[in-house]
Amino acid sequence: MTQRPIQDFYPDELAVCYGCGRLNEHGLHVQTFWDGKEGKATFRPRPYHTAIQGYVYGGLIASLIDCHGTGTAAAAAYQQAGREPGSQPPFRFVTGTLNVRYLRPTPINAELELRATVREIKGRKITVDVTLSANGETCATGEVITFQIVEQQVNQGK
């Protein structure tokens, strides 16, 4: 397991994401730890992240799956390239398609656990499967189809 989350290695200009940017002071600060096979993250919802009283808002769940998916894609890309996170040039991915299935209500007074595996790496496109669980039960699953940002897009803000 890496000691630092992959998001620590995003360049400053790509670290302002509301979901996972370490430089977004209002954000959720999703942190993805990569163990060589899986991306792992935990998140404790805030009391106001409600759907219905006692349960987590689906939009938050989609957000967590989204950012943990792109983080896992970045970590896997470094591994495939045989490079350490932090080496240049940096890997950073954005989401092209996000599919989430809500399997059961997600309790809000629990630590949410996210696990992500890479289904496919195909050029700049990486597909990631994510599960979100609470108290040992899978509450939602997600598929995140991500694309590597190339430098030109960064300069255009894309």
What residues line the site for a second copy (CB under 8 A)? Answer: 13-14, 16-19, 21, 24-28, 46, 48-55, 57-60, 62-64, 66-67, 94-102, 105, 149, 154, 157-158
| Beta strand ranges found along 16-92 (DSSP E) | 33-34, 39-43
Give the separation between CA 7 and CA 9, rounded to whole angstroms: 5
Between 77 and 139, CB nearer to a second copy: 139
- Minimum Å gap between C-beta 135 and a second copy is 15
Residue 157 C-beta: closest distance to a second copy, Å? 4
By beta-carbon proximity to a second copy, the closer residue of 2 and 93 is 93
Comparing CA positions, the residue from 11, 15, 40 lying closest to residue 29 is: 15
> Taking the alpha carbons of 87, 42, 94, 77 in that order, is the dihedral positive or negative?
positive
In the complex, the smallest distance separating the C-beta of residue 91 from a second copy, rounded to whole angstroms, is 15
Give least dist CB 137 to a second copy, A.
Answer: 14
- Kind and range of the H or E element at 37? none
How many other C-beta atoms are found inside a 10 Å radius of the C-beta of residue 113?
17
4 vs 104, beta carbon nearer a second copy: 104
